[in-house]
Structures are given as structure tokens and as C-alpha cells.
Homo-oligomer: A and B are copies of this chain.
Amino acid sequence: MDLRETFATNLRRLRNARGWSQDELALEAEISRSYLNQLEQGVYYVSIKVIGRLADKLEVEPDEFLKRTAKKVRTK
């Protein structure tokens, strides 16, 4: 799975856990709602500058955004 998709999934999950709409989070993190929406759809490779801001506002650790929850079993 591409890391954009991992990030998008985690972002949606963490935003929902906080109980915020995209509008609310975009406002708090000072990014456009359109950009946030595209991030949640895995369109862009986000930079750690934005990850830091989102983590701060959502009150989670930054590494939460890159965790691959559904790990694939590797076949050698």
C-alpha cells in the first residue's frame, strides 16, 4: 500500500476520533479544506510540516499518521 493511502486512512480515522469535520480541522490546522479533503483521499504526498501541525491540533503523536495497521504477510 502506498504511503499516501496509509496517511489518508489514518488521517480520517484520527479526525473522526476527535469528532471534527474536515472544515473544523482545516480551520484549526490552517490548511484549505480542499487540500485536506485531497489528503484524505490519498492524492498528495504530504510533508512532515503539515503532519506536525495536524498532530498538534488532533493531539496525537506524529508517527500515528504513518502506521500501517493492516500489515501484509510477506511471502518470501
User: Which residues of A are interface residues toward B (Cβ below 8 A)?
Assistant: 2-4, 6-7, 45-49, 51-52, 61-68
Whether B51 lies near A61 (C-beta < 8 A) is no
Give chain B nearest CB distance to A76 CB in angstroms. Answer: 13
Q: Which of B2, B4, B48 is the one whose CB lies under 8 Å from A46?
A: B48
Which residues of B lie under 8 Å from residue A45 when comparing CB positions?
Answer: 47-49
Whether B68 lies near A62 (C-beta < 8 A) is yes
Whether A3 lies near B46 (C-beta < 8 A) is no
Report Cα–Cα, A64/B67, bound state, in Å.
Answer: 9
Report Cα–Cα, A52/B66, bound state, in Å.
Answer: 10
Which residues of B lie under 8 Å from residue A52 when comparing CB positions?
Answer: 2-3
